[in-house]
Each structure stands twice: as C-alpha cells, then as structure tokens.
Structure 1
Amino acid sequence: METKSVSPVFVGRTTELDTLNDALARAADGAGEPQALLIGGEAGVGKTRLLEEFAAAARRRGAVVALGGCVEIGADGLPFAPFSTALRQLRRELPGQLAAAAAGQEEELARLLPELGTAAAREARRDEQGTARLFELTARLLERVAAEHTVVLVLEDLHWADASTRHLLAYLFRTLRTGRLVVLATYRSDDIHRRHPLRPFLAELDRLRTIRRIELDRFTRDEVGRQIAGILAREPEPDRVDEIFERSDGNAFFVEELAVAAHEGCCTGLTDSLRDLLLVRVEGLPESAQQVARLVAEGGSTVEYRLLAAVARLTEDDLIEALRAGVNASILNPAPDRDGYRFRHSLVREAVSDDLLPGERSRLNRRYAEALEADPTLVPAEERVTRLASYWYHAHDAAKALPAVLDASAEARRRHAYSEQLRLLERAMELWDSVQDSVRATLRPADYTEAYPPCGCDPETAPLRYLDLMAEAAVAGRLCGERERAMKITKRALRLLDEDPDPLRAAWFWEQRSRLTQALARGDGWAELGIAQDLVRGLPPSEVHAEVLASAASWSMLHRPGPEAMAAAERAVEYARMVGAHDIELNARLTLGGLLVDAGDIETGLAEMHEVRDRAVELGVDTVVSRSYVNLPSVLEGVGRSQEAVGLLREGIEVTRKLGLPDAEGWVWGNLAESLHSLGHWDEAAEAAANAQRLEQSAKPRAGGSVRLAHLAYDRGNLTEAARHLAAAHTFSGTHDPMPQYSLPMTRVAIGIAAAEGRLPDARARLLAALDTGLPPGTQRYGWPLLLAAATAEADAFGDPVTEPDRPRILERLRRAAKTLATGVPVWQAYDVWLRAELLRAEGVPTPEEWSAAVTALEPLERPYDLARVRFRLAEALLASGADEDERARATELLRLSRAVADHLGAAPLARSAVLLAQRARLVLSPATRVPAPAVPVDPADALGLTGRERDVLRLVAAGHTNRRIAEELFISPKTASVHVSNILAKLGVSGRGEAAAVAHRLGLFPAEAGSRQAAG
C-alpha cells in the first residue's frame, strides 16, 4: 500500500477557508474592495496547505494568484524578495496589463522587478523620499493591475522578512483603496520572540481595522485521525491515533512525520527531542542524499539546481538520484518559481543546518561563494550580491566578505532598502579591523558610499575610510527610521573625529545629528547646527559647507524667520553654485524665495520660487519639485492669493502622486485644505484635510491636517470635535520643536475654544504665552488671525465683572503686538483694520465707522466667512448706536448676507447670532425669521430650547458668577457647570458669557432678579 507523507484530503480549517473565500468575494465584487489578511500559526500547523487550497479555489474562480516567499540566507532576509517573486509571477500571468500599469515608472519599479528595465540611473542624492516613492508606485501598480482582474498576492514566511519588505507591506495595508485585490501574508507565530522585529509590526497592524487576522490552531484528535487516514489511505487504529495525537500535540507537520515513521516501523526509535524527530527521516536517506540535503540546508531557503550542481561535486546522475530520494521522501520539494530545490518544511532545513559542525558549515559556505564568483549566472541577478555577501561572511573569510558585504549594501541602497543597507554596513564595520590594510586600500568610496563627498580627496582614487562607512550607515539609519542606531553611529563618529580632527567631516556629522535630534524629539537641533556652522566657518567652499548653510536657512525659516535666515539662504545659494551642487542650490533658493516674501519683497520672492520649480522639473530633482508644490502655494495663501494657490495645489497633488512621494502629497493636501477654507469651500477643505491624515507618512503633515480640521470644526460650532482635532495636532507636532507654522494656528484655535466655553482666563493664558514667545518677522500670516481671535474673545466677554479688571492690560498687549506685524499686502491690511475694530468693541465702544472700514477692506479678498463676520459686527454696531431707518435697512441687508453665507458654510454660531440679533432688533431677514406677535405669552427660555437646569445656570451666568460659584450654588461639579455653559452659548448663538448675559437681560428672562438689582441700586 502506498504511503503519502502529505494527506490528499484537506482536513479541517472550514472557518478559516470561509474567511478567505469571503475576502475573495468582497474583492471581486463590483468595483472591488481590497482585502488584507494575516495568517499566523506555529511552524508545521498547516499555513501553507491552507493557502494552497485557497489558491486553487481562487484560480477556479478566475483570480490570478501571485506567490512570493520571504527568503532566509543565514539570518539575512533579501530586500523585497517576496514582492519581487510575486510581481515576476504576476508579470508572467498578465504581461500586458502589468506593462501598462507600470508605464512611465519602469525605472523606479525595476528596483522591485528588474525585468521592467534598468533601475533609475539618475539617483537623487540624499533622497529621503526614495523609499516612499517606491512604495507609492508599487501600491498604484497593484491597484491598476487589479482594476480589471482579481489578483491574490500571497507573501509567505514574514518571520524572515527584511525590514523593507515589512515597511512596504504595512504601506500597502494602509493605502490600498481600490482594485480587486487580496493581500495575504503568513508568519510563524512561535518564532516571534519578545524582541523579534515582526512583533511591533504586528502590533501596529492590529490597530488597523481593515486587516483580518487568522490564527491557526492545532488539530483536534478527530482531525488528526482524518489526516492520518489520508496519509495511510486507510483508517488507522484508534490506539495509533491516540499515540500520534499525544506526541504531535495536533501539529499537522509532526502528525505527518510520526505517521510515516510509525508506518515504516521506526516509531519506537524516536526520542522526545524535536531535533531528533526532524532529523530521523533525513538520516534514513542514502548518504549522497543526506550530503545534498546538508548542501541545500546551508544554501538558503531555495537553491538553484545549477548552483547545487556546482557545489555538490557529484556526477549529474548521482545528484539527480540524490535529489529524487529527497523529493520521494517528502524532505525536499522542487521550487515553485525557479529551477531549484527547497526543503518541504523549513523546520527540517533548520534542524539539518544546526546539525552541521562549525567547520563544516564554513566550508560549505565557501564552496557556495566560490561557485557563485566563478559563474554569477547561477542565481537570479537581484539576489547575487546579497547571497555572495552572506556566503563569504558565513565562510569566515573577512578579506572576501568585506567587499562582498559592501557591494550588497550599495545594491540595497539602490533599491531604497535602507534597513538592509544599515544592517550590511554594520556588518562591514564589524569586519573592518579583521581585514588587512592592503585589502582595504583597494576599496573606493565612490563604489560603496554616497552619503557625502569625501573631504579633500578624490572619491575615485582615495581609499575607503571607516568614517565613510559610518556616514553611509548614519544616513541609512535615518532614512529607514532606525534613528537610535543612526544617532549612536553619529556620536561614535564624532568621538573618532575628536581624536583625528577633520572639520568638514565633523560638520557633516553634526548636521546629521541635528536632524536626528529633531526626529527623536530631543530638541530643536539648532545647537547641533550651530556647531556645524562654526566648523565650516572660514573654510573654502564645499558641498558640505553649502549643505550646512542650507539646513541652517531652512531651520531659521521654520523657527525664526528674519534677516539671519535670509543671509544664511543667500550664502547657501552662493556656496552651492561654487561647487556645482544643483540640488542644494535649488533647495536654498526655494527657502530664499519664501523669506523674501515674508520680508515684504513679495513679487521678487514669488518669481524666485516659480523659477526654482521650473528649473527643478527640468533637472529632475524630484525632492525640490515636490517641495516647491508645498512651499509656493503656502506662500501664496499667506499673502491672500488663495485662488492661485488652489490651482497650484491641485496640480501638486497629481505631480507628487506621479512621483510617488506620499509625504509631500500629504503636505499638499493640508495646504489645499487651508486655501479652500479661506475661499469658503469648507466641505472640500474637510476632505482635503482628511486626505492629509490618511496618507500618514509622518507626523508633521498629519499635524497640519489636524489643525485644519480643528479650525473647521470650531468655525462650525462643534467645540468637542475641534478640541479633539486640536489635541491630535498637538500630539503630531510635539512639544520638543515648536515652530510658528504649528504653534500659532493651534493657539488661535485654542483661544477660540476656551472663550466659547467661557474659559477666558485660559484663553488669555494661551495668548500671553504666545506673545511672550514672540511673533518673529515673517509670521504675520499666523500672527494676525491669532490676535484677532484673542481680541474677539475679549470683546465677546465685555461686561463680565470677573474678567473686566485684566482687560485693559490684555488689550494693550494686543495693540503692542499688532505694531510688530507687517501690513504689506491687502489681506494683512484688512486684518489690521479688523483688529482695531475688535479692540474698540472690547472696550464697549460702538464703532460703525471702524467696522465699515473692515467690511470695505475684506470685500475684494475672496474670504466669504471673514467678510460675513465683519458684516455681522457692522450690523451690530449700527443697531447699538441708535440706527435710523436707513441704517436699520442697511443692518438688515448685512445680517441677511451674513446669515446666507453662514448657512451655506454650515457656520452655525454665526447663523444663530445673525438670527438672534435680528429678533432682538425686530428686523425681518426672511419669512422664516420673522418674529410674529404671539397670541399668548411665550416663555423666551422655552423658545430658545433651554432646559430647566440650563435656565438655572444662565441665571447665575447673567449674575456674573464663575463656573465654580455656579457649581456651589447648584450642587454640581465645576466640569458639569462648564458643559452647561457651553450648551447655553451654543443655543443662544453667542461666543461668550458676557454676550449670553446681555441676551438674557434683553429678552427679560429673569425680570425678578433685574428688579431686585434695580431696587438695591
């Protein structure tokens, strides 16, 4: 009777298979909804068999299945190996569709699939966006291919995945939005120890609701019995099932091994040792087959037949017979994606490899390395350098390993696999001292590094130095997110430079340390940049010098814009031109253009920024192109040219998406939200801000999106939502590195929320903290709205006896601060006029003339919400100053216009305020707001929708009580009192406690209290 080690009957897994089939149905239905699943389980539990059954079913339903497995070479994963394998299979299945989907981006995508073309020859130096661009292009490629065909992308053995593969997979899980696509990934759960790099990856994915997790349990006794029956082709004896179930503990692979061993009569010879269990059938092979098994175990996850033939040193017939014996014993399997062999189960491979003697292992690795050096075509081109590096390293031949490892690190950098580059460079640094000087002298920086130009020497002829490796490793660590490791390398390099001074190299490392300090939230990085500037001061022009100056200018533009920042930008441009560093020059010129605008030279600065963008497009400097589509529209918005900004930003979305720069795209979406908000397209603005958050490539773009959402929610009267988004903005922007572009808009919204909730002291505290920090030159675009928010809060609280004593001091601070802000463009001039009117309102002075001037200043600026607000205030001032019939008619029209805009935008507080003011003044805005004379007395509190408790609270607010006093009076907590006050302000359509008290008095809500106060007076 024939015995099969693998049961032809698929046992159990009904629920899991249903989950997979449901995912396939969802993806294939209609327009398609991408599905993501993770399948975990211990080694041998049946993950691969489940995938094989599902893949067969998917193919029967017309789906294309592309399988890729993570490759283990020793302890080293190949960068992007599963994606390369899967995309290659996808290309074989759908060649025309994949070619069309990759059209125009073949050079970039060749980093994953070399068959698409030669990888980009034009390398962007210090390209921090390279990985993000590759990830975005991969996501779009899969979406396009899956637009017409259902595609199942399977990635096996994530426990061996390199960091780049993990990052790409996480990016796909987050960003795939369209297409008939199912992405499956498997991992061995028992290998995920506490410090395994897959553990935080899985924890991060657990927070994504779009991913389904499947954990495979071991088989039950009944399932083990059915599995054994399939293997033996007959029903097994119950005692044998009990024995195998007990010994295997339900692990499907162990069931197979024990069932076959028992059938072959060697069960009694087995020990309880897992290693012996795994090796027992290997040791039953002929000696030549055992020898080949040992070779395959040390060659990696899969070994090509030609490579194996070169290493085995057997005749072809003997090798084939040995392989046949291994395959027939179900120990080896032909590789599904190439002419090669692999162990049917990786546990057996690991056991065979671990059973090798140390000298035997290094000898086998040397044979592999020598064979591959003699004939590089023995393995796929994209694996060649990495595998050769691994073979020489494990052969313990440092002289051969060092250049091989460096070649592999350069290849990893070319593919934007910076995590693998860092690991390989650390291995090179480990090998460095073990290699003779004569070997090291043959290595050239130009071949292995590009982090920075070697200082004072020719990279083509000068020998590679240890510091060159450290520089390359520091950049790789920063780019892959391993900032702690990069910081340690940078500090160690600076200690070496203390012993052997080299000012330019030291300056470069201090500039890197500045970036890392900011990224690690340990400071703003200025002190480190200052040291770098001191080191290059007085030295001849160099690329390092230009880079340091450009970084200082960019830092100053974001933190302390002004003359010093402009001088640094000008010097950076000058030095970059001297040394021919075009990317640095364009970056510095873009910074310079923005600073010129901030300084008041508007047209010159804008012209410079436009020219930089055009030149960057011409030269193909993608990072500058993307930055120009962020900075130029932002500057246009800052000077009030919102329509022009929107046009550029919509173009920028397409450009950054085409370039595959999702982080830059996030910035563009955030800036688009700001400009759309200004123009009164609030629904579109909210969508744009949400897009900035969904991309979530880094915290800063998400901070900008959160600020925009907070501001929109505040303007619409949703204070809870505004506070939530504001808290998110604070989280994303952090506290270690305050920048005006974040801190001032967040303070503006925080002041508005606090004032609306009746917390004017909190609003004042936020204002004074901002003013004490200062409003640097060039921050007027953020400073004017901030001062307006504070002045409005003071004006709305006018008459509140609790806050009145400190008001003159606050108003004086606001006036002094306003004198420091520029008024060089119409929008800033309009804010200046508006602020003066608000300050007078805060002093209780009705000023129709000032408000009329504010209306006139804002009317041509295409800022409908701001115009509606000042129109409302003008109407209020006209009515408060004893308006005649003409002025009442004008006030009516102003209120009608304000309410119409507020209704259109969803600005509920402004709409309610306009209606209530019209009611109080007996003005008719429309039939819907006409105030008829009631036939019977109506309680004004009921008409306003106030509850009994809210009426009690309003009575005490009108009496000038604080929330704490209200809480004491009504036997409630201060927090509950604050909530009631917020609800009252919303129902009355007012912005502050003082205005709420005024409404209560005007409507006569508490006549008894008013009469008592008059009698007492």
Structure 2
Amino acid sequence: MFVGRETELRRLAAAHARTPAAVLVVGEAGIGKSRLVREYAGAIDAVVAEGGADPGGTAYAPFVPVLRRLVREYGAGLVPGGGRGGLARLLPELGEAADVPGLGRARLFEEVLLLVERAAERRPLVLVLEDLHWADHATRDLLVFLLRNLMRPGVLVIVTSREPLRLPDAEVIRVPPLGRDEVARMLGRDGAELDRIVARSEGNPLFVEALADAGAGAATPASVRELLLAGADRLGPRSLDVLRIAAVAGRRTPHDVLAAVAGLDELALDDALRPIVRARLLLVDGDGYAFRHALIRDAVYDDLLPGERRRLHARCAEAQPDLAADHWYAAGDRRRAFEAAWLAGRWDRVLELWDDQNTEGQERMTGADRAEGTHWAGGADRAGGADRAGGADRAGADRAGGADRADGADRADGGGPGCGRDHAWVLEQAARDALCEGDAERAEELATRALEEVDDPLRAAHLLELRVAIRDLLGEEGLGDLREAVRLAPRDARLIGALATTLSLNGQDAEARAHAEEALALGDTRSLVTLAALTALDGDLGPASSLYAQFRRCAPDDDSLLMSYASEADVLEAAGRHARAESVAREGMARARRLGMARTRGAHLAANLAEPLVSLGRWKEAREVIKAALALDPAPIHRAWILMVLGTVAVWEGALDEADGVVRLARPLMRGRSRGYDSCLEPDLLECRLAVAQADLARAGRVIGHVLGEHDLTLSRRYAWPLLVLAARVGRVREAPAGLATTGAVQQAYRATFEAECGGSWAAAVACWRAVGQPYALGQALVRAAEQDPVNARELLREAAAIAANLGAEPLRREVEAAAATLRVGLGSDLALSARELEVLGLVGEGLSNRQIAERLFISARTSGVHVSNILAKLGASSRVEAAARARRAGLI
C-alpha cells in the first residue's frame, strides 16, 4: 500500500510543469524510491520509458530499454538514417550499425538526444533511470550529455540512486523514512507490534513489509539480510570480529568499549574499523560508532554462532555495566543477570528471573542493596529521573482539568508507608516503568498482579490509584477503582482529589465539587484545577481564571502546572473564547518545552491549541501543530485527541479518505469513558460528521443509534448538542432530551442550529454563530438560511461562498453552489454597477436624498432618482437603507 510522500509527489509534479527538467531521487535501499516514481508516473498523461542499472552491467545498459520503448512507440525514423549511425549499437533490431570511425560515441549521443526530443514533440515524455549508483561511466556520460543539451519542453528525466550524483541542473529529492502514522496506514494496524516494526524498520517501507510478513519479533528475513550485509563479505577477519562485537554491544557503541572488548591497541582497532566504515556498515557517531540501520545490526547478530554470542555478551557485560543485566542474560548467566538487573532497577528483568533465585539468594541480594543504600533510592528507573517524572504526565489528568493520578515520580520508594520490598513491590515498580515507557497494557497487567498480592489497605489504595492512571491512558473507566481507593484511605487528599476530577468528567458535578472542596481542605492544592474547571463550565469564566491563577502560584510540580494550562484552554474553547484558549495553550506549550516535557504534556497541550485554531478557521496552522505533535509519538489518549482535531479539519476540507483513516486509528485509543462523556462521544461526533459529508445516511444512522442507545447525553457538556444537530439533519431526532443543559455561547449556537433543523429559524442560528466567531459553522448556517429566505438568498450565499473560499472548505463550497442553483441565484461578485451608480450608492450610504445627491453631483433630481432605482434593482433591495446595508457587506462602500 502506497502511503505518504505527498511532498515528494508535489515536487515531481512541479518539476514536470517546468520541463525540460531533471530530478534525482535519493534514498537508501528499500526506502521507496522506485515506488514513489511509479506512483507518480502512473498518474500522469505521458509516455513513460524506464530503464535501470545493475552491478557489473554493460555500457549504456540502463538506456537500452528506454530507447527500445521509444523506437517501438514512434519508430526509428525519428532520427536520420533510422538510427543506423548510432542507436543500432545498442538496439540490434535496427540492423547493423554504420561504421563511422571516431564518431561512434558522438553519433550515438546525438541520436539519443534527437530521439528523445522528437518523441516529446508528439507527447509529453518521462525518462526513468533506476539505480544509477551502479551505472558505468559511459552511461553517466550519456546522461550528463542529455541533461546539458535537452532544450525542448515536455521531457522530464527522473534518476534514482542510493547516493547523490553530480548531475547538471538536477533537483534532488531525498526520500525520508515513513512516520509512525504512515506505517500504521500502510499495515492497517496499531499497538505494540506496530511500535516494534517501526523501531526495527526505522520507517523503511521494504523492511516494514518484510518484518510485517515475518513477524515483528522474528529474525531478519533472508532477502533483507543479503541486502543489508552487502560489503560485509569483503571484510578481513579482524574487521569482521569488530563488527560482531559492535552488533552484540548495541546499536551505538563507544570507541573505548570496542577497544576493551576487542583487546586491540588503538592503531590496530583503527585499521579494523576503517573498512567497516568505508562499507557503511558502521557510521562514525561522535566518540563511537553506530550501525547505519538497526536491521544491519540484527543481520550481523543473527549470523553469530551460539557460542560466539555467549562469549561476546559476557565480555560486553564487563565493559558496559549499564547494560550488564541484558548481557549476562543473553550469555546464559541468570544469577548475574538478576543481580545486575536489581542494582540497575530493571524490574521487568528482575521479575523474569525472580523464580530462578532461591530464597537465600534473594535475601543476600536485598541485604547487599540495603548496605549499598544508593541502589534503593527510588528503584532507579533505567530511563532516568526526568523520564519518570514525565511518566506522570503520560498517566496524567484530562485536558478538561484534573489532578495528576499517576503519582509516578514520588512513590518510587515502594508505594506507601510500611511497604516491604517484596514481589508485589517489584511488580509495582515494573508497572511504573512500563507506564513511563508508554506500554499501558503491560503496566495494567503488572499493577493488577501487585494488587492481588497485597493485603495492606493503604498500599492497596495507592495501587488502585496507579491502575486508574494506567487505565485512563487506555481509555477505560476508573471511577470504581477510585471509589474503592478512597474507601480504603478515606483521609488521603490526593485520592479524594482524583475522585473529584473523575466525577466531574462524568458529569456528576455536585459530588465532584464536594470531594474537590474536601481534598482542598486536606491540603491537595491540585483540586483548585478541578474547582476552576467546574466553575468555568458553569459559565463563570472570571472566577475560574482566578482559581487557575491561584493554583499556578502554588503548583506542587511541573506536571500539575502544565495540566492547569490544558484544563483552562479546554474550558475556554468550550465557552467559545477561542482566541484566549489559543493564548493559554501556547503559553502552556512554551512552558512544556522549557521543562523538557514537550513529548508528554506538551503533546497534550497541542490538542488544546489545535482546537481553537480550527474553530477560528486557521486550518493550515492547526495542521502544522498537529503534525509536529504526532511526530513526538505521544501517549495513546493524547494521540487520540490530536487525531480527533485532524479528522475534523479533514472532513471540513473535504479530505474524506484521510478523515476515515483518522477514525480507524483513533477509535481503538478512545474505547471507554475514562475521560468522561465528552471524551467518549468525540469519536462518535467525528464519524457522524464524516458519514453526513459522505452522504452515507446508513452509517450516520448507526452512529446516532449507538449514541442515543448507549449514552446519557445530559452528562455531556460539549458534544451532545452537535450530535443532536446531526441526528436532526438525518431525520433521527426531532426534540432534545429533557434536562440537557446549554452553557455558553457555543452550546447556545448549536442549540439554535438544532432548533432550526427541526423547523425553527435559521436566521437565529446565523446570528448565534456570527457572535461565536466560528466561520465554518456560520457558513453552513448561511446556506440553510438562504434556503429559508429566498429574498435575501443571494447575499447570504455570497457570504457563505466567501467563507468557503477563505477556508478551503470544499464541501461547503459545493453546498453553496447547489443552493444557488436550486434557488436560481447568481454568485458573481460583479453587480454591473456603473461608475456613476457607485458614486450615487456612496451618497445613499451617507443618507442623502435624491435632491441632495443631485446637488452634490450636479445632475437633475430626476436623473438622481433613476440611478437610485437602478441601484435598488441590481442589489435586490427594497429600500435605500437595505441597499446601503447590502453594499457595506459586499464591500462596495
């Protein structure tokens, strides 16, 4: 499946538009150079002639199939003598080549040039020459001659190569690796296996396909291995030994580690490394060496004999203490692997080896560590303290506001008072590590196992809190666990505050406020954010802003501080304060970057920034924010929020295939109610919008049926009214549920739209959306208002058309044109007003009478009256006041 490469395709198209032109497409083996060229060539109206070089190929071999294609298409008569003077040297079917001493090469080059240019006269021509890194000098000379002498438009030469070539006036297009989302679309899958494929393939499409077929964890497929190890068979024995050491040591190996393990002096090591670097199997990387591709390392490693592998791992364990646990494990020494893992805080490895250690060994290990002291200082996370602190963000609270429930940073000492460092403690540390690393499924499994092994109520309460944070990222409900945690620890302010946040997300505001106030009284300042969000959602933005500011002055940690920005931006956007929401989100993102949390809480805030940009009609900016955030590979729930905004833009732009792909990617990430009704309804709203845009009423009906049957819309503050608007549009609903609240200008506008869909006034909906300042929704309402008000239809549709053009909203443009055709209304901007009529119109706008206009323009009152009458007719106005108003809106005065 061909995915991505939109930028590269556009550059090829741009080159074709300015022919004659040449493009050099560069990239490593398997990156998709040929697929890119084929995809482009297959979509254009041109004759495509292709050839390619092979290792050891004969002179001019890449040009032979190209020239043969042109001769078969147009005949050899395009060149003098039917090509017998030069082309026949390459194409025997033309007959015996004429013997022209001293001119053979020159005649060949000239005939090739003539054939290409004359073929282009008949039809645009694309010459594709593949794998020119293998081409002989003669072929390159012919290509350079062709590029320097091509003058006729209509010829595009595309060359592919693994390395840059010196070609005159050729534009270079470097083909980048695929991103994670592109690989997901390519394979149609997501999750841990996708992450493994992305990591091992590094976005190389050939490797992606090979690993997907073989399984992400399988050995490197043989066909790929041969490609990767090209050149290794020419290395000497000492160089091969060093290459194998590097494969065992890791993807990147410091120079001193190679020296220590290889046992070579500096000069001997340099001599061994130079051929490896020359073959580009290893690349110089600072003070060490890195494999050019992860799969090269895998291929070298897979070729090791079992005994070699164990010996090299044992030697590397001594030289790389930070990786000793893995090396001893691979070497088969499980006791040493256990000891090294415990000292390094590698809790997953400790768990794996736990049952192999006898009780005496465990006690000896624990005692030694207590004596060491430092190794127990928090059960060091191999990802480092900063990442562990960031892990709290990955399990953090909702963008609508809420306390940090992960608590990953400050419970690394064992999970609570009186907690022993037993098997359950190790399970908890492993769960926190998995959470920091983004593996929420694994973290949930470990936390649940730990819960089954503890009997201390306080310890169980905090494990429940951890599991809530984990399940939150998985999109699963955590309210029950939090209620149980508060029952077990009824005076724990943090737990009570977390319960308050979750209750508020589920629309249980009264209970949420009571718990938040209780938590605040017990010292949990993070409950200020929950109280601020509840206050804002009640419509009191001023007091809410004061609460957010109060919290930021005393925020207990960086994550909570950033979470408050996300919460405030979210409630401001919900209230229709789009510009203020943008400002708060940008301030939060800047802080996240300064604090080193751009990938975690910063990606979360990116969704809060993209939303108001979309509302304000700044879709290009929103796409840039979204692209940058997705490139950070955020946590699943944060990725889902970002994708939701992207999907909305895609629907409104008319990119329906893209929107469909977004729905498929996002739904598995938002499969529960962990973020409340608003969050779980968001993918339903996007899919329903998409179905309506596709005119797929059956799909829209299924989504609406699910929403009405499975959800209580009275608990949703943001998405109930938009969903009801769509339900009314497809004829599924005619009245709103009893008790559904309408808070803020945005919800009032949606309610007015719903009422209009049910037979009410579209003019009222237009007025609401005009006040809110959301151009796309205003444009849709204007179209429907025009259908309801034929007298003013032209003016309404012209405004909607202008909005569609400014936004690049293709569906809205089609709606406008369809309504204009039905109502027989012209949308042209030229009202055919003469220069004199425009003068008169300006004076009408000033409120002058016919006589006053006549005096001002030195014309008769009768002539003035005729001009005014013509103007009223052309503007479709019934009075001078209405004419002036329409003229102002149309920019005529």
How far did 1:532 drift? 2.9
Q: Could you say what secondary structure the match of 2:477 adopts? A: coil
CA displacement at 1:475 relative to structure 2: 1.3
Classify 1:392/1:627 alpha carbon distance in 2 versus 1 (closer, same or farther; 3 Å): same
Contact 1:297/1:352, CA 8 A, preserved across alignment: no
Q: 1:37 to 1:778 in 2, by over 3 A?
A: farther
Identity %: 25
Is residue 513 of structure 1 aligned with residue 467 of structure 2?
yes
Query: Cα distance, 1:820 vs. partner?
Result: 1.3
The corresponding residue for 1:524 is 477
Match of 1:448 among 379, 382, 385: 379
Alpha carbons of 1:589 and 1:442: their partners in 2 closer, same or farther (altered >3 Å)?
A: farther
Q: Unpaired runs of 5+ in structure 2?
A: 1-23, 32-173, 175-191, 275-281, 289-299, 371-375, 381-409, 833-893
Give 1:906's aligned amino acid.
G
Q: Give the number of aligned pairs.
A: 606
Deviation sequence 1:694-740 (CA, Å, 0-9, x none): 44433333433433343334334555554444344324434686853
Q: Give the Cα–Cα distance (whole angstroms) in 2 for the partners of residues 753 and 169 of structure 1.
A: 30
Change over 3 Å in CA distance of 1:496–1:174 after alignment to 2: same
**Partner SS state of residue 742, structure 2:** coil
1:595 is the counterpart of 2:534: yes
For residue 557 of structure 1, report the CA deviation from its aligned partner: 4.1
Partner residue in 1 for 2:579: 643
SS of the counterpart of 1:840? coil
Aligned with 2:749 (options 822, 825, 830): 830
The CA deviation at 1:755 is: 4.4
- CA contact under 8 A between 2:474 and 2:670: conserved in structure 1? no
| Alignment-mate amino acid for residue 734 of structure 2 | L
Q: Residues 898 and 528 from structure 1, CA distance in 2 versus in 1: closer, same or farther, beyond 3 angstroms?
A: same
Q: Which residue of the other structure, out of 828, 834, 837, is the alignment partner of 1:926?
A: 828
Q: Residue type of the partner of 1:494? A: L
Contact 2:677 2:716 in 1 (8 A): yes
1:474 touches 1:486 (CA, 8 Å); kept in 2?
yes
Q: Does 1:476 align with 2:433?
A: yes
Deviation (angstroms), 1:656: 3.3
> Which of these residues, 513, 518, 533, is aligned with residue 486 of structure 2?
533
Q: Does 1:821 align with 2:741?
A: yes
> What is the CA distance between 1:840 and its match in structure 2?
1.9
1:357-756 mapped onto 2 (5 Å cutoff):
383-384=320-321, 386-387=323-324, 405-409=341-345, 420-424=346-350, 426-427=352-353, 430-431=356-357, 433-435=359-361, 437=363, 440-441=366-367, 443-444=369-370, 445-446=376-377, 448=379, 451-454=411-414, 457=417, 464-483=421-440, 485-497=442-454, 501-517=455-471, 523-537=476-490, 540-541=491-492, 546=494, 548-575=495-522, 577=524, 585-586=525-526, 588-613=527-552, 615-616=554-555, 621-658=557-594, 659-717=596-654, 719-734=656-671, 739-755=676-692
Matches within 5 A, 1:880-899: 888=791, 890-899=792-801
Query: Using the alignment, how far apart are the partners of 2:687 and 2:303 within structure 1?
Result: 62
CA contact under 8 A between 1:871 and 1:895: conserved in structure 2? yes
SS of residue paired to 2:576? coil
CA apart distance, 1:491: 3.8
CA RMSD of aligned residues (A): 6.2
Ranked by relative contact order (alpha carbons within 8 Å, sequence separation 6 or more), the top structure is 1
2:768 to 844, 851, 857: 857
Say which is worse superposed, 470-479 or 622-631, in terms of deviation: 622-631
Contact 1:649/1:668 (<8 A) preserved: yes
CA distance in 2, matches of 1:762, 1:311: 63
Residue identity opposite 2:798 in structure 1: R
Question: Per-residue displacement from partner, 1:250-297 (whole Å, max 9, x unpaired)?
Answer: x838x967xx9xxxxxxxxxxxxxxxxx9xx99xxxxxxxxxxxx999
**For each residue in 1:551-604, what CA deviation from the matched residue of structure 2 results, as whole angstroms up to 9, or x when unmatched?**
434444444453333344444444454xxxxxxx43x43334223322444333
Deviation at 1:787, TM superposition (A): 1.9
Distance 2:702 2:30 in 1: 49
Matched letter for residue 807 of structure 2: L
Partners of 1:712 and 1:597 lie apart in 2 by 26
Displacement of 1:636 after TM fit? 0.9
State the SS of the aligned residue for 1:781: coil
Worse-superposed segment, 856-865 or 690-699: 690-699
C-alpha separation between the residues in 2 aligned to 1:306 and 1:736? 52
1:252 is aligned to 233
- Match 2:725 to one of 780, 788, 796: 788
CA distance in 2, matches of 1:33, 1:926: 45
Residue matched to 1:20: none
Amino acid paired to 2:459? R
Measure the CA separation in 2 of the matches of 1:305 and 1:722: 48
Contact 2:310 2:331 in 1 (8 A): no
Judged with a 3 Å threshold, the aligned counterparts in structure 2 of structure 1 residues 505 and 732 are, in CA distance, closer, same or farther, namely: closer
Alignment partners' CA distance in 1, 2:534 and 2:510:
9
By how many angstroms is 1:643 displaced?
Answer: 0.7
Residue 305 of structure 1 and its aligned partner are, at CA, apart by 13
8 Å Cα contact 1:754-1:763 kept in structure 2: yes
For 1:111, the equivalent position in structure 2 comes to none
Residues 662, 697 of structure 1: 8 Å contact kept: yes
2:187 corresponds in structure 1 to: none
**Structure 1 match to 2:803:** 901
Structure 2 distance, partners of 1:594, 1:766, is 29
* 2:713–2:720 Cα contact (<8 Å) kept: no
- 2:754 alignment partner AA: L
Q: Deviation of residue 676 (structure 1)?
A: 1.8
- In structure 1, C-alpha distance between the alignment counterparts of 2:252 and 2:609, rounded to whole Å: 50
Tell me the amino acid that sits aligned with residue 740 of structure 2. T
State how far apart, in whole Å, the 2-side matches of 1:917 and 1:306 are. Answer: 74
C-alpha spacing 1:563/1:928, structure 2 compared with 1 (3 Å):
same
Distance 1:821 1:565 in 2: 17
Distance change >3 Å, CA 421–CA 186, structure 1 → 2: farther
Contact (CA 8 Å) 2:502, 2:676: kept in 1 or not?
no
**Residue 766 of structure 1 aligns with which residue?**
703
Of 502-511 and 523-532, more deviation after overlay is shown by 523-532
Task: In structure 2, give the amino acid aligned to 1:504.
Answer: L
- Cα distance in 2 for partners of 1:307, 1:720 equals 50
> How far apart are the structure 2 equivalents of 1:721 and 1:395?
49
Q: 1:774 to 1:213 in 2, by over 3 A?
A: same
CA spacing shift, 1:929–1:736, aligned 2, 3 Å: farther
**Counterparts of 2:522 and 2:483 in 1: how far apart (Å)?**
18
Q: Within 2, Cα distance between the matches of 1:908 and 1:310?
A: 64
- Kindly provide the amino acid, as one letter, of the partner of residue 623 in structure 1: D
Q: Which runs of 5+ in 1 are unaligned?
A: 1-31, 40-149, 151-163, 176-182, 207-211, 220-226, 228-250, 261-277, 283-294, 313-318, 340-344, 373-378, 410-419, 578-584, 795-806, 842-849, 880-887, 931-1017
Alignment partners' CA distance in 2, 1:470 and 1:759: 49
Conserved? CA contact 1:719–1:753, under 8 Å: yes
Q: Residue 453 and residue 851 in structure 1: after superposition, are their counterparts in 2 closer, same or farther (change >3 A)?
A: same
CA contact (8 A) 1:673 1:689 kept: yes
SS in 2 for 1:780: coil
| In structure 2, C-alpha distance between the alignment counterparts of 1:34 and 1:928, rounded to whole Å | 50
TM-superposed deviation, 1:395: 11
CA shift digits 1:122-162 (9 cap, x unpaired): xxxxxxxxxxxxxxxxxxxxxxxxxxxx9xxxxxxxxxxxx
Q: Which TM-score applies when normalising by structure 1?
A: 0.48
